Amino acid sequence: MKILVLQLARFGDIYATWPVLRALKRKYPKAKLHFLVRRHFAEACQGLDAVDRVWAFDTEAILAPVLEESVSIEESLKKLTGYLEILQNEKYDQVINLSFSPASSYLTHMISGPETEIHGYTRFDDGTLRLPDEYSSFFYAQVGIGRPNRVHVVDLMAGVAGCELQPGDWSLPNNVVEIDTPRPFIVIHIGASQERKSYPARMWAKVIERTREWWDGDIVLVGSASEVEKSNAITAECGLTRVIPLVGQTRLPQLFGILLRARVFIGCDSGPLHMASLTKTPVLNLSFASVNFWETGPKSAGSRILWAQSPVILEPEWVSEEAQRMIERQPGRNTRAEVVSPVDFFASLFLDDHEDFEWDLIKALYFGFDMPPLRTHVAQNAILRLSEINNLAIEQIKRIAIDPKGQTPYEILNRADEMFHTVSQLVPDLAPLARWVLTEKARVGPGPLGEVAAGTLAVHEAFQSQLNKFQIDSKEIQL
């Protein structure tokens, strides 16, 4: 058996995929497991012994001709064809797409043959997006910044791949360069994958100044070559006493060695954060509204999340104090959440006592939990309206079977979708519900009219079952 796994995102996503690859290897010990990543990030596959072959997809080489003055589309297509033919000739039995992007969905479809078992985003033959499994559907409908999802992306990737994670799946690469230092140290990653997710230099300097008041060990600064200027700005402000600036000086195997010995890793959303999950280093994750930490936060047990709307309002004193509390094994004071365990889907979720209707709604829609009580009359009214629209849609789909040429049912069905969308905007609490039904409808895909109508009808009926689970006090609702 030959399996290809695609991960076309960045360093952090590749490291987050490692546990899934190990779980896949355990599930299919005799299979040849191939891994496709972008050439630019292929270094993040070094030391990964779960895969038999790494393919480097060279986006930069493919795009070079279209970025020339002449915009040579033909030349780029020729290069793309070359890559596709190599992968098509491998004749994979399974293609598992763990990137959730349009490009990866086309690529998955084109690499796969008629007999290939596909997991993850792909395309129907007419080019529309195809979500072949429940986890892809969940990702499409509920995952993203600003959405209430709390299922971690690693767990979703394992679901897409059809495998179960174990704690040992988070483990080191086989090429770690171990370091030998006499003094304990804390690691600070000064950067992030994007500037808006990053903590400012002057505030890092204050964190360091404050930390030196209670910490006798060293503070190691890490980051990429592009962050050297920021590192210099930090050390210019706080000085070099017990600070070891290694920004731009470490290759990935050395960075693994540093993380392995660190007492705590402090950092924002970034590749090293996911590396720290593999070294099982406790992470103090500084998280902001530009990230959903539930989805992409640390996985190492004991990690904590410090959250603020934006970086500039997260006090350096809080960061330093929380690091101290982690090292001294005291309960968190300002933490938003804490990692209990990397595995077990729900049990692995962070502790958090915030009431969250939308998250409870997601749990009810996808995982069999009870439907949460509606908190407002507006929401109750919206459920009644959705129910009316949905029943009308069901009637109209049944009319399609009688009169396939009539236009009215199609118009009403389109309007129903618009109404679902509108209700979710007017009553944001119910947005997960609207996204659920619209995504399930999109999964029906193209085909003969009868099949499409039957598939669509099944979705609307399932939607009605969901709506019927809400308890509504109709006496109190003004109809």
Partner 1 sequence: MKKDLTPHLKRALLKLDQWTAQIRKTSPLSADGEKALLLRELVKEQLPDEDTRPAARQVR
Does 145 bind partner 1 (CB under 8 A)? Our answer is no
Closer by beta carbon to partner 1, 108 or else 303: 108
Rounded to an integer, what distance in angstroms lies between the CA atom of residue 345 and that of residue 156? 9
**Residues within window 436-475 making contact with partner 1, judged by CB under 8 A:** 438-439, 442-443, 446
Does 129 bind partner 1 (CB under 8 A)? Our answer is yes
Reduced to 3 states (helix: H, G, I; strand: E, B; else coil), residue 397 is helix
Does 110 bind partner 1 (CB under 8 A)? Our answer is yes
Question: For residue 3, what are its two tokens?
Answer: 């399996």
Does 144 bind partner 1 (CB under 8 A)? Our answer is yes
Among the listed ranges 23-31, 76-84, 242-250, 298-306, the one in contact with partner 1 (CB under 8 A) is: 76-84
Q: Residue 163 CA to chain centroid, in angstroms?
A: 17
Question: Quick one: the chain helix, strand, coil %, rounded to 5?
Answer: 50, 10, 40
Q: How many residues bind partner 1 (CB under 8 A)?
A: 37
Q: Which of 27, 52, 63, 229 binds partner 1 (CB under 8 A)?
A: 63
Q: Which of 66, 177, 228, 392 binds partner 1 (CB under 8 A)?
A: 66
Among the listed ranges 127-135, 257-265, 310-318, 342-350, the one in contact with partner 1 (CB under 8 A) is: 127-135
* Maximum alpha-carbon separation in the chain: 81
Question: For residue 139, what are its two tokens?
Answer: 């990702």
CB of 331 to partner 1, least distance (A): 38
DSSP string spanning 75-139?
HHHHHHHHHHHHHHHT--SEEEE---SHHHHHHHHHH--TT-EEESSEE-TTS-EE--SHHHHHH
Among the listed ranges 55-63, 243-251, 318-326, 394-402, the one in contact with partner 1 (CB under 8 A) is: 55-63
* Packed helices 73-89 and 59-67: angle between N→C axes, nearest 10 degrees: 160
Q: Is 323 left (phi over 0), alpha (psi -120 to 50) or beta?
A: alpha
Does 14 bind partner 1 (CB under 8 A)? Our answer is no
Q: Where are the beta strands (DSSP E) in 163-312?
A: 185-189, 218-222, 243-245, 265-267, 283-288, 304-308
Does 103 bind partner 1 (CB under 8 A)? Our answer is yes
Does 85 bind partner 1 (CB under 8 A)? Our answer is no
Q: Which of 11, 41, 121, 138 binds partner 1 (CB under 8 A)?
A: 121
Q: Within 13 A of 49's CA, how many CA atoms are on the CB side?
A: 8
Per-residue x/- track, 381-420, partner 1 (CB under 8 A)? ------------------------------------x---
Q: Which of 21, 36, 51, 62 binds partner 1 (CB under 8 A)?
A: 62
Reduced to 3 states (helix: H, G, I; strand: E, B; else coil), residue 267 is strand
Closer by beta carbon to partner 1, 196 or else 261: 196
CB of 365 to partner 1, least distance (A): 17
Strand 53-57 and strand 122-123: the pairing is: unpaired
Question: For residue 360, what are its two tokens?
Answer: 């409870």
Query: Which amino acid would we find at residue 319?
Result: V
Among the listed ranges 70-78, 172-180, 375-383, 425-433, the one in contact with partner 1 (CB under 8 A) is: 70-78
Judged by the rule CB under 8 A, the positions of this chain that interact with partner 1 are 59, 62-63, 66-67, 71, 73, 76-77, 80-81, 84, 100-103, 105-107, 109-110, 121, 123, 125-129, 131, 140, 144, 417, 438-439, 442-443, 446
